[in-house]
């Protein structure tokens, strides 16, 4: 292996907007020459970028491609997606010392690039076989294909990571691999808890305006909770042309206590959120990933030094209760959310904020970066 290893990072996303990928690259760049492959232009941390046109889908969508999925011709489906075919063309005749595949759908390209001897690290951001099973066409056509990809390729990977323990257990139980845990944490921030307002409790939520996250329930709950509460929303439009975000704004019309803001870059979020009191996220368990989510935003709230309010989502509950970070509602209905909010007062919020401040050094990317560094060191050393 060369003294400056060639490392390939694959993600069928716009890496510049993908917080987990940007954090991954912040570590990987210290280990060699980094080539990224994905949508959008070159991200920070990349030495060279192979750009896949954003209009090329990463799953089969043509009539022949969909027919292959419907007939469970999964081997023939691996490069039926236009984005994967283009990726294969971009990688032709290139050699790498390590390949990192982000999400299961990138695994065929990763093993094409790796050849017979190059190690592959699979960073599995969530439970891949049920990524979008709340959509009938995805559940019927794509889920069996993703299971095929995981069954074929994951046992051949040299390392695996995922975001939380219960999802890691699913991979172990289903595909016989043992992923290490790399949470969706953000870097430690040099911030202190803001002074808690006495008159109103300032709630905040940040993330994607994605149907299924039930942000309409959040808005209704804040309206129902009364004048003591305000809600500020920093939302990124979904891939629906902003339709759901417009619906949310329409729902909140007439309530001056609910304010929508432009989205903020991931690196700037904790400082922006620091002015508020409580970070909120009540996501109903509409599929396995929703039921087991341990999202970026929880760690953004921690680094912003906010108290936290969540529903009974098990991975988030484990963190909130372990460190005494905030409150957990009994369920996901408007009434149950309001009941939990009504337990808050300035004194309790200040106590939660102090607990969050204490926990911030443990719930930060520096802890998870150590996992990535060990994987990179081990795999590159083995390949020398």
**pLDDT for 190-206, tens place per residue?**
999 999 988 899 999 99
SS (H, E, C) 274-325: CCCCEEEECCCCCCHHHHCCCCHHHHHHHHCCCEEEECCCHHHHHHHHHHCC
Q: Which residues of 51-85 are buried (b: 16+ CB within 10 A; e: fewer)?
A: ebeeebebbbeeeebbebbeeeebeebbbbbbbbe
Q: How far is CA 261 from CA 245, 295, 381, in A?
A: 11, 20, 47
Alpha carbons 216 and 364: distance in angstroms, whole number = 30
**Spatial contact of 103 and 124, defined as CB atoms under 8 Å apart:** yes
How many angstroms from the chain centroid is the CA of residue 252? 27
Q: Is the pLDDT of residue 138 over 90?
A: no
Tokens of 24: 């991954």
C-alpha angle 342/264/28, rounded to 5°? 115
Confidence bin at 212 (pLDDT 50/70/90):
confident
Q: Is the pLDDT of residue 311 over 70?
A: yes
pLDDT of residue 2: 58
Alpha carbons 82 and 52: distance in angstroms, whole number = 9
**What's the full length of the chain, in residues?**
384
Confidence bin at 31 (pLDDT 50/70/90):
very high
Q: Is the pLDDT of residue 62 over 90?
A: no
Q: Hey, what domains does the chain have and what are their CATH numbers?
A: 6-185+365-382 (3.40.50.2000), 201-359 (3.40.50.2000)
Confidence bin at 242 (pLDDT 50/70/90):
confident
**Spatial contact of 41 and 16, defined as CB atoms under 8 Å apart:** yes
pLDDT of residue 384: 65
Tokens of 152: 């074929």
Alpha carbons 207 and 361: distance in angstroms, whole number = 23
Rg over CA atoms, the chain: 21
Give alpha helix (H) positions in the chain: 19-28, 63-70, 74-77, 82-91, 107-114, 136-137, 143-153, 165-175, 215-225, 243-252, 269-273, 288-291, 296-303, 314-323, 334-341, 346-359, 365-382
Alpha carbons 118 and 101: distance in angstroms, whole number = 13
Residues 50-76 have a mean pLDDT of 91
Q: Is the pLDDT of residue 1 over 60?
A: no
Which of residues 133 and 33 earns the better pLDDT score? 33
Give alpha helix (H) positions in 200-283: 215-225, 243-252, 269-273
DSSP state of 196: P
Alpha carbons 186 and 347: distance in angstroms, whole number = 27
pLDDT of residue 61: 86
Alpha carbons 230 and 219: distance in angstroms, whole number = 10
**Spatial contact of 103 and 11, defined as CB atoms under 8 Å apart:** yes
CA atoms within 13 A of residue 255's CA, in its CB half-sphere: 23
pTM of the model: 0.92
Residue by residue, DSSP assigns 22-47 as HHHHHHHGGGSEEEEEEESSPPTT-S
| CA-based nearest residue to 342, from 334, 232, 195, 350 | 334
What does residue 190 show for φ and ψ, rounded to 5 degrees?
-85, 75
Percent of the chain at pLDDT above 70?
99
Residues 32-49 have a mean pLDDT of 96
pLDDT of residue 241: 84
């Amino acid at each position: 292996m060369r003294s400056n290893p060639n490392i390939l990072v694959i993600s069928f996303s716009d890496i510049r907007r993908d917080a987990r990928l940007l954090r991954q690259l912040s570590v990987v760049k210290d280990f060699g020459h980094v080539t990224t492959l994905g949508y959008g232009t070159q991200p920070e941390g990349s030495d060279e970028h192979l750009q896949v046109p954003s209009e090329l889908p990463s799953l089969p969508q043509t009539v022949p491609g969909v027919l292959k999925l419907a007939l469970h011709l999964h081997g023939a489906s691996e490069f039926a997606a236009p984005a994967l075919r283009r990726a294969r063309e971009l990688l032709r005749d290139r050699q790498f010392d390590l390949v990192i595949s982000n999400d299961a759908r990138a695994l065929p390209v990763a093993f094409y690039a790796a050849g017979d001897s190059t190690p592959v690290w699979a960073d599995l951001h969530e439970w891949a076989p049920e990524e979008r099973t709340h959509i009938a066409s995805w559940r019927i056509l794509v889920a069996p294909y993703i299971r095929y990809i995981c069954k074929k390729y994951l046992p051949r990977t040299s390392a695996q990571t995922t975001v939380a323990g219960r999802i890691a257990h699913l991979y172990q139980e289903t595909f016989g691999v043992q992923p290490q845990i790399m949470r969706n944490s953000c870097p430690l921030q040099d911030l202190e808890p803001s002074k808690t307002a006495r008159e109103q409790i300032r709630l905040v939520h940040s993330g994607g305006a994605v149907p299924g996250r039930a942000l309409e329930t959040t808005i209704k709950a804040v309206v129902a909770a009364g004048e003591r509460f305000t809600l500020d929303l920093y939302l990124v439009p979904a891939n629906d042309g902003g339709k759901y975000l417009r619906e949310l704004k329409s729902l909140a019309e007439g309530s001056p206590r609910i304010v929508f803001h432009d989205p903020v870059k991931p690196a700037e979020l904790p400082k922006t959120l620091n002015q508020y009191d409580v970070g909120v996220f009540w996501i109903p368990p509409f599929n396995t990933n929703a039921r087991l989510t341990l999202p970026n935003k929880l760690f953004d709230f921690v680094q912003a030094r906010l108290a936290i309010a969540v529903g009974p989502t098990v991975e988030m509950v484990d963190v909130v209760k372990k460190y005494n970070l905030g409150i957990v509602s009994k369920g996901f209905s408007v009434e149950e959310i309001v009941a939990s909010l009504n337990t808050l007062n300035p004194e309790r919020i200040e106590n939660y904020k102090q607990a969050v401040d204490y926990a911030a050094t443990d719930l930060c990317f520096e802890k998870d970066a150590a996992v990535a560094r060990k994987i990179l060191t081990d795999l590159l050393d083995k390949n020398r």
